[in-house]
Amino acid sequence: MSLLEVDNLRVAFDTEDGRVQAVDGISFSVEKGKTLGIVGESGCGKSVASLTMLGLTRSMNSRIEGRVEFEGRDLLSIPETDLEAIRGNEVSMIFQDPLSSLHPFFKIGHQLSEAVLTHRDVSKGEAAKLAVEMLDLVGIPNAEARSHSYPHEFSGGMRQRVMIAMALINDPKLLIADEPTTALDVTTQAQILGLIDDLQEELGMSMILITHDLGVVAQNADEIAVMYAGQIVERSSVEELFFSPQHPYTWGLLGSIPRIDRSSEEPLIPVTGQPPSLIHPPGGCRFHPRCPYVQEACSTEQPSLETTGGGGTHHSACLLSETERKALWASLEKSPDPASAIAAAELKVARR
């Protein structure tokens, strides 16, 4: 059985401009000890989805539907106090900006031991000792002395280590890491991702890694879900996603990132246009106004996430047939230009 099972999660916010459907019916699961990467651009709903799993978007203005089952319990329907007992204990989170995510006025030792005292019946002294041990484990030098420092006295990378220590101090079964390295420099990012990887192995926990960086998921995730405009458009194992992607948006993403490991002669092929409004999303497939391979049906019919390919683990939400997609990707793999792919696949594209 999966550790976490999300079924048809929908989150909407009522704003002055209208109702924003930030997450629109997403489903996925996370296996024990595995890492699920969720990728997408800003506003695609990846952060809202993760916050909602822990009840952190509950408010007067939000509408939440669906099921989030963690070890058999539906986190969306249990009372707030039960959720509090799970947060930071069985399921922890780390966030993008470690400076703004740590309280500026409390010493970090205090912030860590507070997490222990909230969930465990130990003395303050024991909690403080645990905090120091944990800081040591995540590689903070002089952990004992540093536990008396304030967040601003640490560097960006060290602060993220502190956040990780705080998230892991109660031995969670699931860690949700929301853009954990986006605010960090690349060598620091390598340190932090390496640390998370080591700790995950050591503690045997599962992880949801949310990022916009395809490189980060390629190196760290087992499974990947690609989100666009509140929906999952493709979900598969990491190898499948990079070696035989099955959705035009994924192709677009792969074509628009510059590659450090390849010659710069290859031009970037950006996805044209802008992400849609989530108040008035386009009808049919959300991606159709930007899709180079759009068909007549795409503007009216909403594709659902369906199994594609052989293994049964690859899912894609696209109205193109599997053969069409195979032919298109075969051409795109050689040259990322959509026009030549359309020609090669002899695809008829609907006029805009």
Partner 1 sequence: MSSSETALLEIKHLVKHFPLTKGILFRKQVGAVQAVDDLSLSVAEGETVGLVGETGCGKSTVARMLVRLLDPTSGEIRFDGDDLASAKGGDLNTLRREIQIVFQDPYSALNPRKTVGAIIADPLVIHGIGKEGDDRKRMVQELMEQVGLSPEHYNRLPHEFSGGQRQRIGIARALALRPKLIVLDEPVSALDVSIQAQVVNLLSDLQKERDLSYLFVAHDLSVVRHVSDRIAVMYLGKIVEVAPAEEIFEKPIHPYTLALYSAVPKPDPSERTEKPIRLEGDLPSPTDPPSGCRFRTRCPWATDICTKAEPPLVDYGGGHLAACHHPRNVSRVDLESAQIAPASPITASDQMPAVE
Partner 2 sequence: MLEYILRRVLWGVAMLFLVSGVIFVIFYLLPSADPATLRAGRQASPDQIERIRESLGLDRPVFIQYVDYMKQIFFHFDFGYSYQYETSVSSLIFDRLGPTASLTFGAAILWLLMGIPIGIISAVRARSLLDRSTMVISLALISAPVFWLGLISLYLFADDIGLIPILPGAGSYEPLSAGPIAWAGPLILPWTVLAAASAAVYARYLRSDMIDVMGEDYIRTARAKGLPERKVVMKHGVRSAITPVITLLGLDIGVLLAGNAILTESVFNIPGVGRLVLDAIDKADLPLIQGVTLFGAFFIVIFNLVVDIAYAYLDPRVRYDDL
Q: Which residues sit at the interface with partner 2, rule CB under 8 A?
A: 51, 54, 56, 80-81, 84-89, 92-93, 95, 97, 100-106, 114-115, 118-119, 150, 152, 163, 166
> Applying CB under 8 A, which part among 110-118, 162-170, 257-265, 299-307 lies near partner 1?
257-265
Q: Per CB under 8 A, does 239 bind partner 1?
A: yes
Helix (H) or strand (E) holding 143: helix 143-146
What is the Cα–Cα distance from 180 to 135, expressed in whole angstroms?
Answer: 17
Q: Per CB under 8 A, does 191 bind partner 1?
A: yes
What is the Cα–Cα distance from 311 to 324, expressed in whole angstroms?
Answer: 19
Q: Binding residue for partner 1 (CB under 8 A) from 3, 112, 164, 253? A: 253
Stated length of the chain? 352
Give the number of C-alpha atoms closer than 13 A to the C-alpha of residue 220, restricted to the C-beta side.
31
Give the number of C-alpha atoms closer than 13 A to the C-alpha of residue 316, restricted to the C-beta side.
23
| Cβ atoms of residues 63 and 14 within 8 Å | yes
Q: Binding residue for partner 1 (CB under 8 A) from 38, 193, 210, 341? A: 193
Q: Per CB under 8 A, does 309 bind partner 1?
A: no
What is the Cα–Cα distance from 164 to 154, expressed in whole angstroms?
Answer: 14
DSSP for residue 299? G
Per partner kind, with CB cut-offs from 5 to 8 A, the member of partner 1, partner 2, none near residue 133 is: none
From the centroid of its chain, how far is CA 47? 7
Per partner kind, with CB cut-offs from 5 to 8 A, the member of partner 2, partner 1, none near residue 50 is: none
Q: Binding residue for partner 1 (CB under 8 A) from 17, 80, 261, 346? A: 261
CB of 14 to partner 1, least distance (A): 22
> Applying CB under 8 A, which part among 25-33, 51-59, 252-260, 281-289 lies near partner 1?
252-260
For residue 80, give the amino acid letter: E
Tokens 């990022």: give the residue: 211
> Applying CB under 8 A, which part among 2-10, 89-97, 259-267, 297-305 lies near partner 1?
259-267
Tokens 């192709």: give the residue: 251
Number of other residues whose CB lies within 10 A of the CB of residue 11: 23
CB of 342 to partner 1, least distance (A): 19
Q: Per CB under 8 A, does 268 bind partner 1?
A: yes
* Closer CB to partner 1, 256 or 321, in the complex: 256
Kindly give the residue spans of alpha helices, DSSP state H, lying in 204-321: 214-220, 238-243, 248-256
Number of residues lying near partner 1 (CB under 8 A): 47
CB of 137 to partner 2, least distance (A): 18
* Closer CB to partner 1, 72 or 273, in the complex: 273
From the centroid of its chain, how far is CA 252? 18
Q: Per CB under 8 A, does 252 bind partner 1?
A: yes
Question: Residues 213 to 232: which contact partner 1 by CB under 8 A?
Answer: 213-216, 218-220
Question: Residues 35 to 54: which contact partner 1 by CB under 8 A?
Answer: 41-42
What is the Cα–Cα distance from 188 to 172, expressed in whole angstroms?
Answer: 24
